Amino acid sequence: MTAATTLGPPVPVPVPAPARAGRILAVASGKGGVGKTWFAITLAHALARAGERVLLFDGDLGLANVDIQLGLTPAHDLASVVDGRIGLAAAAQAHEGGFAILAGRSGSGALSQLPPATLEDLLAALRQESTRLDRVVLDLGAGLDRSVRRMSGFADTLLVVATEEPTSLTDAYAALKLHAADVPAGEARVVVNQASSRTAGERTYATLARACRSFLGRAPALAGVVRRDDRVREAIRRQTLFLTRHPTAPAAADVEAIAAGLRCP
Amino acid sequence: MRLKLYRAADTAEAIALVRAELGGDALILSSRRVQGGVEVTAALEPDTEPPPAPLPAPDPRRAAAFVWHGVPAGLARRLEAGPLPFALSAVLRFEKLALGDAAPPLMVVGPPGAGKTLTVARLAARLVMAGTAPMVVTADGKRAGAAEQLAAFTRLLGLQLLVASAPAALSRALARREAGAPVLIDTPGTDPFEAGQREDIAALAATAGARLAVVLPAGLDVGEATDLAGAYATCGARLLAATRLDLARRIGAVLAAAGAGLALAEAGIGPGAADGLVPMTPDLLATRLMRVPQLSAAGTGARPT
């Protein structure tokens, strides 16, 4: 035991290595059509390429389309998990991109009215599964219904995808506002997609951050800017992974930079 | 939030347009040069709109219990979904103490008065009752009565107590270890916020090749427990023995220390020398967390009816 002498100034607490961004990342946008699903897929791919064990979870309960965007015909999907026919881990399928995918039930809306208790069980199973992984990327549906809100708050980190359009900014703000109400100490970051240039994207972020700071009292950090690239549309049309098809495209470098930033903040 | 773009020949004119249409409360979010003038983005958050109500907790009883125990908000949020033992096992780490033949020595560290010596004595008793005689060492040779306290236990168990306060002495003591005998090492109370004391712990642990278990009382202040656990983690501690779960009512400190990076290993649940310490399990912790006086009113601000 130390002999107490004088009470000096408090000794700074040694802090263990800073925790990196949360294991469960949700990707939301409020508005549809801003490239959210494309971004979620490409981010999962970028994290996997950086060596992480990643699960991409299609959390768009109304109109899932991760599987469509990648041209998959999954043997199992979220609906089978919700029915209890198969466990969450077993329903996920390995993708050639080096990450696992748990597909939604595309085009049926079968899961859109999931009862809250069922959603909780599903999230608990996802949390459990996340302990065996480095990262779960949760692609959320458009809109801000109860389940989108719940999954945004459930995630360790929320990524809100926005574009330069005023409608997208307004909806991204609405998503951030609900997140702030649900999880006052939660972490949210902004991704500006389809930016005409990096500077323009940063300006879009600054606009959104200013609104958040003024009206919500806090502003999310910028996760990164993804520059507009016509090859994105082409890769989606061909149902292929963007980083595989266009590894040297500026948009590929942008998503990889965001992945790197999430790995070491 | 209402967002609107205005174009005008210059900034002053644009701002006049904003004020005319949205009023004095409008916020100019950005302004940029465009062909023929400027484009200004303005926003208005109508104050008639009430702030959104937070989504209700999936299990209000659990949320209230977390508030009562003082569980840090971020941790509480991650423990919301699913059955509580299940959530605890997914979010926190639980680890059974390995004290078998091949296991490295276990060194117990913690602040003064946390219950380190009693924890070592109880682990020794558990091993003796299971038919294994452990080697018990104390590195607390300086504090008056410290070694005697542990010696009283080891005598009862028919074990010898070795005193080794410095790395060299510890090394000599460990050389006398019988093949396959588990080793338990008690240490003096430490202040892990002092670099010198962290170095002493690390040096002893390195000499013994020991795993470090932190002993913290369950009723500690939550912030203090977080800091202590984090500080001991920086000198290599990975395990937690939470003591006095029977004496503390609010046990947020246990979760906070686990959340700061220690795996939950042991729980002090009663006064018994042999049965007072048990392996910590998700079920035990969940049961203990939900034992809250007047749970229906706790943390909800509910008025008595």
Q: What is the per-residue pLDDT across B61-71, written as a single tens digit (0 to 9) for each? A: 999 999 999 99
Shortest distance, CA B54 to any CA of chain A (angstroms): 5
Mean pLDDT of chain B: 91
User: CA-to-CA distance for A85 and A103, rounded, in angstroms?
Assistant: 15
What is the ipTM metric for this complex? 0.79
Residue B179's pLDDT band, with cuts at 50, 70 and 90, is confident
Domain residue limits, chain B: 2-44, 95-280
Q: How many Cα atoms within 13 Å fall on the side-chain side of residue A31?
A: 17
Tracing tokens 């879009």 back to the chain, one arrives at A204
Tell me the average pLDDT across A138-156: 93
Cβ–Cβ under 8 Å, residues B77 and B206: no
Single-letter residue type at B65? A
Domains and CATH numbers, chain A: 26-263 (3.40.50.300)
Residue A108 has what pLDDT? 66
Residue B281 has pLDDT above 60, yes or no: yes
Best of B55, B84, B262 to substitute, by most chain A Cβ atoms within 10 angstroms, is B55
Residue B257 has pLDDT above 90, yes or no: yes
Nearest CA in chain A to B193: A13
Q: Which of B264, B283, B217, B274 is nearest to B244 (CA)?
A: B217
Residue A3 has what pLDDT? 47
Shortest distance, CA B129 to any CA of chain A (angstroms): 32
Tell me the average pLDDT across B251-255: 97
Strands in B27-34's sheet, in edge-to-edge order, are B2-8, B37-44, B27-34
Best of B1, B66, B201 to substitute, by most chain A Cβ atoms within 10 angstroms, is B1
Q: Where are the alpha helices (DSSP H) in chain B?
A: 11-22, 60-69, 73-78, 84-91, 116-129, 146-157, 167-175, 195-208, 222-234, 252-259, 282-289
Q: What is the per-residue pLDDT across A162-173, written as a single tens digit (0 to 9) for each? A: 999 999 999 999
Q: What is the per-residue pLDDT across B140-166, written as a single tens digit (0 to 9) for each? A: 887 878 889 999 999 999 999 999 999
Residue A11 has what pLDDT? 63
Environment class of A166 (CB within 10 Å of its CB; exposed 0-12, middle 13-18, buried 19+): middle
Residue A98 backbone zone (phi > 0: left; psi -120 to 50: alpha; other: beta): left
Q: How many Cα atoms within 13 Å fall on the side-chain side of residue B81?
A: 21
Chain B residues in contact with A173 (beta carbon < 8 A): 1, 3
Residue A21's pLDDT band, with cuts at 50, 70 and 90, is low
Residue A265 has pLDDT above 70, yes or no: no
| CB-CB under 8 Å, A1 with B188 | yes
Residue B301 has what pLDDT? 45
The least confident of A80-89, B205-214, B257-266 is A80-89
Residue A94 has pLDDT above 90, yes or no: yes
CA-to-CA dists, residue A170 to A31, A164, A173, B97, angstroms: 9, 10, 5, 53
The separation between the first and the last C-alpha atoms of chain B, rounded to the nearest angstrom, is 40
Residue B151 has what pLDDT? 94
Residue B7 has pLDDT above 90, yes or no: yes
Tell me the average pLDDT across B87-91: 93
User: CA-to-CA distance for B148 and B128, rounded, in angstroms?
Assistant: 20
Q: Which residues contact B295 (CB under 8 A, 6 or more apart)?
A: B61, B64, B65, B68
Residue B123 has what pLDDT? 96
**pTM of the entire predicted model:** 0.85
Residue B25 has pLDDT above 50, yes or no: yes
Residue B272's pLDDT band, with cuts at 50, 70 and 90, is confident
Cβ–Cβ under 8 Å, residues B207 and B170: yes
Question: CATH class for domain B95-280?
Answer: alpha beta
Helix axes B84-91, B282-289, angle to 10 degrees: 120
Helices vs. strands in chain A: H and E counts, helices first: 11, 8
User: CA-to-CA distance for A14 and B197, rounded, in angstroms?
Assistant: 12
The separation between the first and the last C-alpha atoms of chain A, rounded to the nearest angstrom, is 38
Shortest distance, CA A137 to any CA of chain B (angstroms): 16
Residue A138 has pLDDT above 60, yes or no: yes
Residue A232 has what pLDDT? 95
Residue A107 has what pLDDT? 67
Provide the 10 A C-beta neighbour count for residue A131.
12
3-state secondary structure A163-176: CCCHHHHHHHHHHH
Single-letter residue type at A172? A
Residue B295's pLDDT band, with cuts at 50, 70 and 90, is low
Q: What is the per-residue pLDDT across B199-246, written as a single tens digit (0 to 9) for each? A: 999 999 999 999 999 999 999 999 999 999 999 999 899 999 999 999
